[in-house]
């Protein structure tokens, strides 16, 4: 299978590594900066790369695209690749508005191609294990408490490069947690609240935010987000269950006392990005809708839309 990866930033590189570890994938790298494109292609031994989007859109040998591009481009690019007959894995968030998400859903239905959204938390082995335990009745979740912390007072990427677009705590980072909570509980929310701090004069978005959600059976989600944080950055997930507490950070899990939790080896043979990209590939091969399809994610986008209104009023 030939897959185009659009983008050369840190997330694009994680997708490259995942596909190379999966194997049997012909990667075509697409970028806008020729020098950076060649640098990344050489680093990962990618023979085929281009700055010509139209050429790859028209290439019938390209089955799918992974869009690791700036958030404001996701809607337009997803629709363009769908209409060119390609399956799409679009990085989170698929859109930064409910209207944009709805436009993607409509394009997916019209073209009958897969659109999967990179909600990688669904695929990290610890989160998979927690889901299995909940489904088997071995764990009963009371509260999912999440911290998502960065230091991003300047508009720079994870690689320290200047951006011409702005990241967003709600539409990007909170999207992971809102979707994960719905995915793990399989319940809609009945109450929600959100508060945000002042907008940054430098990058134009709030640098701090708090979110709370209650599900139908009164399970709770609490999310603390900041771009003002000093120290280690990333996301920490604490599952507070009747049977114990479990702390998850990407592909690692410990209990409430920081003792390692052993999970089945069949889950740990891949990391979250590899499981995610395998799901995308297998869904294409098997002619089915993938886990984290755009229509599955849409209810979470509706929640983000409501939270944005609450936080700004």
Q: Are 183 and 303 in a shared domain?
A: yes
Q: Are 70 and 153 in a shared domain?
A: no
Q: Are 24 and 70 in a shared domain?
A: yes
Listed residues 118, 153, 182: the one ending a domain: 118
Which residues fall within 8 angstroms of residue 21, CB to CB, at 6 or more apart?
Answer: 270, 274
Q: What is the pLDDT of residues 77-131, one digit of tens each?
A: 999 999 999 999 999 999 999 999 999 999 999 999 999 999 999 999 999 999 9
pLDDT score at 160: 73
- Give the separation between CA 33 and CA 27, rounded to whole angstroms: 18
Element containing residue 240 per DSSP (H, E): strand 234-241
Residue 38 lies in a domain: yes
Residue 172 lies in a domain: yes
According to DSSP, residue 245 is labeled E
CATH number at residue 114: 3.40.50.720
Element containing residue 145 per DSSP (H, E): strand 141-149
Residue 282 lies in a domain: no
Residue 286 lies in a domain: no
Q: Are 154 and 298 in a shared domain?
A: yes
Residue 278 lies in a domain: no
**Block mean pLDDT (10 aa), the chain, length 313:** 97 98 97 95 97 97 98 97 98 97 98 98 98 98 97 78 84 97 97 96 94 98 96 96 98 97 97 98 98 98 97 93
Listed residues 118, 153, 184: the one ending a domain: 118
Residue 280 lies in a domain: no
Q: Are 174 and 221 in a shared domain?
A: yes
Domain that holds residue 54: 2-118
Q: Are 10 and 111 in a shared domain?
A: yes
- Please give the tally of structural domains in the chain: 2
Residue 289 lies in a domain: no
pLDDT score at 51: 97
Residue 182 Cα distances to 59, 177, 219, angstroms: 38, 9, 10
pLDDT score at 161: 78
Listed residues 95, 118, 141: the one ending a domain: 118
* Strand order from edge to edge, sheet including 141-149: 189-196, 208-215, 220-226, 141-149, 234-241, 244-249, 252-255
Q: Are 217 and 302 in a shared domain?
A: yes
Q: Are 251 and 202 in a shared domain?
A: yes
Q: Are 91 and 170 in a shared domain?
A: no
Q: What is the pLDDT of residues 23-34, one digit of tens each?
A: 999 999 999 999
């Amino acid at each position: 299978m030939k897959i185009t990866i659009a983008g050369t930033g840190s997330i694009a590189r994680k997708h490259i590594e995942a596909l190379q570890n999966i194997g049997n994938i012909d990667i075509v790298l697409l970028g806008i900066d020729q020098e950076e494109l060649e640098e990344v292609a050489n680093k990962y031994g990618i023979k085929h790369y281009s700055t010509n989007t139209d050429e790859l859109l028209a290439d019938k040998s390209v089955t799918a695209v992974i869009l690791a591009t700036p958030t404001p481009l996701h809607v337009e690019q997803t629709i363009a690749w769908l209409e060119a007959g390609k399956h799409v894995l679009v990085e989170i968030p698929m859109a930064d508005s409910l209207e944009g998400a709805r436009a993607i859903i409509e394009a997916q239905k019209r073209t009958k191609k897969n659109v999967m959204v990179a909600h990688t938390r669904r695929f990290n082995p610890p989160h998979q294990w927690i889901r299995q335990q909940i489904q088997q009745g071995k764990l009963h979740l009371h509260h999912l408490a999440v911290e998502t912390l960065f230091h991003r007072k300047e508009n720079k990427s994870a690689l320290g490069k200047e951006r011409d677009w702005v990241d967003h705590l709600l539409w990007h980072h909170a999207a992971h947690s809102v979707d994960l909570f719905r995915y793990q509980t399989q319940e809609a929310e009945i109450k929600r609240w959100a508060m945000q701090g002042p907008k940054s004069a430098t990058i134009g978005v709030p640098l701090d935010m708090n979110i709370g959600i209650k599900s139908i059976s009164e399970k709770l989600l609490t999310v603390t987000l900041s771009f003002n944080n000093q120290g280690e950055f990333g996301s920490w997930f604490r599952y507070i269950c009747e049977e114990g507490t479990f702390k998850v950070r990407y592909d690692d899990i410990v209990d409430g006392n920081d003792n390692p939790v052993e999970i089945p080896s069949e889950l740990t043979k891949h990391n979250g990005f590899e499981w995610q990209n395998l799901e995308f590939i297998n869904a294409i091969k098997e002619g089915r809708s993938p886990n984290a399809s755009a229509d599955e994610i849409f209810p979470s986008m509706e929640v983000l839309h409501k939270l944005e209104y609450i936080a700004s009023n």
